């Protein structure tokens, strides 16, 4: 298994409340571990134009599975935070870091 740092971009169609942001960060916190913290990466970055990016770690056998898992995790966290897919469409995920024992 390899640990991937995946960045999932998106856009909030309407303003996100502080409570929704906090809920989203809580839902994703378990995916923000040693690699991303040691690199100084923020879990959630919000831009003034409503765009955002989520950086999280995923253990997966390959890049493809890591990207799928990351997208599923972000989608589920958004939903649990009360943010619908229509209110926060996601863009294509990208691998932004890899940590392997190989």
Tokens standing for residue 5 = 């740092």
Query: Could you give the count of Cα atoms lying within 13 Å of 89 in the half-sphere of its Cβ?
Result: 4
State how far the Cα of 1 lies from the Cα of 60, in Å rounded to an integer. 5
pLDDT, position 34: 59
Residue-range domain boundaries for the chain? 2-6+14-87
Residue 101 C-alpha from the chain's centroid: 23
Residue 33 in this model has a pLDDT that exceeds 70 = no
Task: Evaluate if residue 101 carries a pLDDT over 80.
Answer: no
- pTM equals 0.85
Q: How confident is the model at residue 39 (pLDDT cuts 50, 70, 90)?
A: low
Average pLDDT of every residue of the chain: 86
Instruction: Report long-range pairs for 32-37 (Cβ below 8 Å, ≥24 apart).
Output: 32/56, 32/57, 33/57, 35/3, 35/5, 35/97, 35/99, 36/5, 36/97
């Amino acid at each position: 298994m390899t640990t991937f740092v995946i960045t999932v971009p998106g856009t909030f169609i309407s303003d996100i409340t502080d409570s929704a942001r906090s809920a989203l960060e809580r839902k994703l916190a378990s995916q923000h571990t040693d690699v991303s913290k040691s690199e100084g990466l923020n879990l959630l970055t919000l831009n003034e134009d409503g765009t955002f990016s989520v950086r999280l770690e995923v253990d997966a056998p390959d890049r493809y599975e890591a990207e799928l898992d990351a997208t599923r995790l972000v989608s589920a966290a958004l939903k649990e935070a009360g943010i619908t897919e229509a209110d926060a469409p996601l863009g294509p995920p990208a691998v932004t870091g890899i940590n392997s024992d190989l």
